Amino acid sequence: MPTSTPPKDPRGKWLQLTIKIIALVSVLVFFNQIGHWLADQVSFQLWPRHAKMFFPFLIGALATYVLLLSIPFLPGIEMGLMLMSVLGSPGIILVYLATVLALSFSFFFGRQVPPRIIRHALDWFHLRRARELVTALEPLGPEERFHFLVESAPSRMIPFLLRHRYLVVALLLNIPGNALIGGGGGVGLIAGMSRLFPFPRYLLLISIATIPGPLFFLLRAM
Amino acid sequence: MTSWQRFLIGILTIFLGVGGWVVTPSSAAGNHPLEGRVFVVDTGRSGEGPSGRDVYCFREGKFLSTFHNTQHDFPPGPYTGHRVGDVIHFAADAQSPTRGSIHWEGTIRGEIINAAFFWRDTPRWYSWHNGPAKYWARSAGWGPTTSSGPDIAASHLLDGQVYFVKTGEKGNPPDHSDYLIFWEGRFVSSACVELNFSPSAYSAIEKDGTIRFHAEIRSPNRGRMTWRGTVRRNNTEGTAEWHYKRLFWEVVRHYWFRGPVYSME
């Protein structure tokens, strides 16, 4: 006797997806608010009475900044701006170095994420084609990945972006709307997960790409 | 009147005159020997070492502890004093709406003050000790009377003036209140005194009804602060700059201050 699975209700599928997206956005908003709260705590008036706690504060604030910036969707930039305003010119250089460190952390974290977890995450959001792409990319090396992506890309735009991927990452790190893809931490994470960037080149890239912001503040402070 | 009677009246007059000089009871008289005087003191719990610094002012018949005023809301309170030889004995009381009452008593010999104060805090349900806590206060010294900065020529133009200012970091709202006191050629910021900044000489020049002043105060462990301001029509305003160097780092912060001359009323 032939058996057949009942057809899934498309409305239920969409409802499920909507609930998942709302849950994810709620979690992100919650952590974002925590980040904003932390940034507000850093933004206090610095007086001689704070002299003894200055260096512990400096180390703690920089560590928090590195953590916030390296995790996607957390407001690391706000914290960086607060730190630069509190610490003055020498702080701008320190924040720049901390930014490079944070983006390196997110890159390494992206490298370490097993493709299995990425597949599960894409599956959870019903992004089946993206899951199939990750599955196909998994056994390939960096060069093969690049060629596979260029050849299988549905539009002409993607191969162009892939060929100029270093420029794309540099632009993404500096455009204001990058919060939509998780900010600097998100860009670093995706770059790491893509396995299309050797770390020395990525380090050079972020070292140059993150200069404009601190340079602007440095010139303004002079 | 016989010569004996005249002699007795003379003796009595001399006795009363000398007695009047030796023991001069007073309560907040305008020409009281303590009136207008300012003392920087170390303070601490009775039987313990110093734990803080404070500035004591005797003005307009009232006594002000700047620390207890700014930190614990104690307004200036009346003081009394009497002179015995070269020592002035004084007593003062202040009442805070939230932190109970404090009674000060002590002696002043020349520039040296030696006092005790008894603080009876407002009873709280979680406090097991409701009796008055005893503290001591002793002169901490006035720091250098000579110039403290490269372009600071000591002045006495603002001596005796006390300003109650609001102060904050440049571009920010006020952070706290501070008393700026000018006394015998020296400048005192009460908030800085609490942080171990020594009072220091100030320079001042007057032009067109405006007095410009400049002072630099230093702390052994919190760097230096440079104060520049103007005084016009019983108001002062200006800027302060904090320099704090530690290892490879120098913190430089800019502040503003603004406020009227202080009245004890």
d(CA B213, CA B152): 9
Instruction: List, for residues B36-91, the tens digit of each pLDDT value.
Output: 899 999 999 999 999 999 999 999 899 999 999 999 999 999 999 999 999 999 99
Enter the DSSP assignment of A5.
P
Model pLDDT, residue A160: 77
d(CA B64, CA B263): 11
CATH code 1.10.10 for B23-139: no
Q: Do B253 and A47 touch (CB under 8 A)?
A: yes
To the nearest whole Å, the CA of B195 is away from the closest chain A CA by: 7
Does residue B214 sit in helix, strand or coil?
strand
Q: List residues in chain A touching B: CB distance below 8 A.
A: 45-49, 51-52, 54-55, 87-88, 90
Does the structure's ipTM exceed the value 0.90? no
Model pLDDT, residue A35: 77
Q: Residue A7 falls within a domain, yes or no?
A: no
**Interhelix angle for A10-42 vs A76-112, to 10°?**
130
- Measured between beta carbons, the chain A residues lying within 8 angstroms of B221 are 51-52
Instruction: List, for residues B103-140, the tens digit of each pLDDT value.
Output: 999 999 988 999 999 999 888 777 776 678 999 999 98
Mean pLDDT of chain B: 85
- Measured between beta carbons, the chain A residues lying within 8 angstroms of B196 are none
Which band of pLDDT confidence, cut at 50, 70 and 90, is reported for residue B26?
A: very low
Q: Do A48 and B221 touch (CB under 8 A)?
A: no
Q: Residue A86 falls within a domain, yes or no?
A: yes
Q: How many domains does chain A have?
A: 1
Enter the DSSP assignment of A123.
H
- Measured between beta carbons, the chain A residues lying within 8 angstroms of B222 are 48, 51
Which band of pLDDT confidence, cut at 50, 70 and 90, is reported for residue B1?
A: low
Mean pLDDT within A163-176: 85
In chain B, at which residue ranges do the beta strands (DSSP E only) sit?
A: 26-27, 38-45, 52-59, 62-65, 77-84, 87-96, 100-109, 112-120, 133-139, 162-169, 176-183, 186-189, 200-207, 210-219, 223-232, 235-246, 249-260
Cα distances (angstroms) measured from residue B98 to each of B72, B77, B155 = 8, 15, 40
Closest by Cα among B63, B72, B74, B73 to B41 = B63
Q: Do B223 and A49 touch (CB under 8 A)?
A: no
B23-139 and B162-260: identical CATH topology: yes
Q: Do A90 and B221 touch (CB under 8 A)?
A: no
Cβ-nearest to A90 among B197, B225, B249: B249
d(CA B202, CA B183): 10
Instruction: List, for residues A128-150, the tens digit of each pLDDT value.
Output: 777 777 777 777 777 777 777 66
Mutation site, A47, A53, A58, interface B, largest B CB count within 10 A: A47
Q: Do A48 and B242 touch (CB under 8 A)?
A: yes
Cβ-nearest to B253 among A46, A52, A90: A46
Percent of chain B whose predicted confidence (pLDDT) is above 70: 83
Q: Residue A10 falls within a domain, yes or no?
A: no
The residue ranges of every structural domain in chain B are 23-139, 162-260
To the nearest whole Å, the CA of B39 is away from the closest chain A CA by: 22
Q: Can you read off the two tokens belonging to residue B65? A: 């502890």
Give the range among A212-221, B42-51, B222-231, B249-258 with minimum mean pLDDT. Answer: A212-221
What CATH fold (topology level) applies to the domain B162-260?
A: Lipocalin (2.40.128)
* B225 CB neighbour count, 10 Å cutoff: 24
Mean pLDDT within A7-35: 80
Q: Do B169 and A55 touch (CB under 8 A)?
A: no
Q: Which domain holds residue A93?
A: 16-42+52-221
Model pLDDT, residue B19: 43
Residue A216 — φ and ψ, nearest 5°?
-60, -45
Kindly tell me if the per-residue pLDDT of B95 is higher than 50: yes
d(CA B205, CA B228): 12
Kindly tell me if the per-residue pLDDT of B35 is higher than 50: yes
Kindly tell me if the per-residue pLDDT of B29 is higher than 70: no
- Measured between beta carbons, the chain A residues lying within 8 angstroms of B255 are 47
d(CA A213, CA A61): 19
Q: Do A54 and B195 touch (CB under 8 A)?
A: no
Q: Residue A9 falls within a domain, yes or no?
A: no
Report CA dihedral (A38, A41, A43, A47) to the nearest 10 degrees: -150
Model pLDDT, residue A206: 94
Kindly tell me if the per-residue pLDDT of B181 is higher than 90: yes
* Angle formed at CA A13 by CA A8 and CA A14, multiple of 5 degrees: 145
- Tell me the residue type at A134: V
To the nearest whole Å, the CA of B124 is away from the closest chain A CA by: 29
Model pLDDT, residue A104: 95
Q: Do B222 and A48 touch (CB under 8 A)?
A: yes
d(CA B59, CA B76): 9
Model pLDDT, residue A12: 77
d(CA B161, CA B144): 19
Which range, B3-7, B10-14, B181-185, has the best average confidence (pLDDT)?
A: B181-185
Kindly tell me if the per-residue pLDDT of B223 is higher than 60: yes
Q: Do B222 and A51 touch (CB under 8 A)?
A: yes
* B47 CB neighbour count, 10 Å cutoff: 7
- Measured between beta carbons, the chain B residues lying within 8 angstroms of A90 are 249-250
Q: Do A55 and B246 touch (CB under 8 A)?
A: yes
Model pLDDT, residue A4: 54
Beta bridge partners of B112: B109
- Measured between beta carbons, the chain B residues lying within 8 angstroms of A87 are 251
To the nearest whole Å, the CA of A83 is away from the closest chain B CA by: 13
Mean pLDDT of chain A: 82
Kindly tell me if the per-residue pLDDT of A59 is higher than 80: yes
Closest by Cα among B164, B195, B160, B166 to B58 = B160
Q: Do B195 and A88 touch (CB under 8 A)?
A: no
